Structure 1
Amino acid sequence: MYPHFQDAELENWHDFEVESRKEIFSLLRGIGEKNQLIRMLIQGESDVCVTSILDVDEAGNSVLLDCSIDKEQNQRILGSRRLSFETTLDKVRILFAADLIEAAVFEGNPAFKIAIPPTLIRLQRREYYRISTPVSNPVRVVIPLPAELGGSTTFPLADISCGGIAILDNKMILGDTIGKTYAGCSIDLPEIGQVKTELHVRNSLDLTLLNNKTNRRLGCEFVNIPRGMLAYVQRYITKLERERNARIAGLG
């Protein structure tokens, strides 16, 4: 049902499928009450509409959605045979789909109506919770590089999750390396220990700083990380969370 979500994270989507009608209704109602924006994708087209849930009618088995401001896009949506929806609720990624969408009215304004989906995906995994690492005393990762690139090189981390890290490549040493995998990397986590893992570069973002210097942020995914090493990462994230909560409590 969900292969149209082109996402490597969904290879085992059955593991995260919610089938309880009561739970599905509760999640949809929560998304609507918190005015969460929803990406609506027309299958087979690179056509995305940002919408939101206007109302969830459990008795009528329907969900009312906001229309696009683009009338032509609304016509394409109504003519679609398959629609995909993606949003978040309390940092949890929610995905669902619809085979049929109809024109409707909500409080005098045009709207869309779909049936309450029979299932949805709730990706409630710690990989999606990223926490920034300290700036003043940054955590560092050592990436083995060929001799012509300077050999093993140290990079500061920007954030960390149980799925991977973001690193800052200030000197653009790695270049545009999306899709490249680096073996034998090591991360020293203060008070926890050293993590050994492969890193696969998933994305790259160039940032212009206030002094007009450019900084490159690379999003890296852990590959084949041993369970024991992942436990270190989890412990470090918990440590950072506790320290942050203590600071917030101190300010309060």
Structure 2
Amino acid sequence: MVTLLDGKRVAEEVKKELRERIGKLPRPPKLAVILVGDDPASKTYVAGKEKDCREVGIDFQLLHFPAGTEEEELICTIRELNTDPTVHGIIVQLPLPPPLTNQPLSHIDPSKDVDGLHPLNVGKLWLGQYDLDRDLLPCTPKGVIKLLDYYSVSLAGKLAVIVNRSNLVGKPLAKLMLDRNATVVICHSKTPSLSERMKEADILVTAVGRRPKFVVGPEAVKEGAVVVDIGMNFIGGKLVGDVDFERVKEKVSYITPVPGGVGPMTRAMLLHNVVLVAERAERGVQV
């Protein structure tokens, strides 16, 4: 019988713990989010972050800039936030509208980089100089590992196939899985015989978001596999993943639902990172 990897349930437990930790701090942690332009999806994501913060007692500051804002203005704002002792986490909401690049991200103080994207934090991850519970790691990969841990899904000796090669998801998740002794294969749009690669996986992770062009059916999944669906697609106004959930769940041992799987864990790990920074700041220790 298949076991649902219930990210919503696990995220609620994480948030309960965070409320208790926040209650022990002399002041609430604060997350500052920089938003450029009026992209509807970005505004929705930012609103979700604010809601999550309010739920656990984290203060939220939105700095909303118009499209066409110069890169230097964003960098100046980031530098001000870096030196503000009341701000514990800084996020630049991606994607930035053209012609802006992601260069401003490298100006965030690494100790306040709650997305885990600063080159210093990326370097610590790839050198293995990190602790899952005590360092700033990208939120989605961290959430996936936490979810698998909760359900005692072992990675050691398993073949993990990840269909995503982004700096946000695929690459950092591959490193986290490798460090847990999985054999990891990263696949992408140029991977030949992609369905065959996926069918070999003991643990299949997909984060594509291009339905109906890309859909994972039971024919592409190994019997008894663990399936982690990070894909986000809107079909008929409904959020669905990359995986044909109803058909695939009959064949696998574990599977994440969409919604209610990895998404809540990603959001919970962002809150976890903010609280981590606040606790470190209170002790006078940099992340």
TM-score by length of 2: 0.24
> In proportion to residue count, which structure has more helix?
2
Higher RCO (CA-CA < 8 Å; seq separation 6+): 2
TM-score by length of 1: 0.27
> In proportion to residue count, which structure has more strand?
1
| Structure possessing the higher radius of gyration over alpha carbons | 1
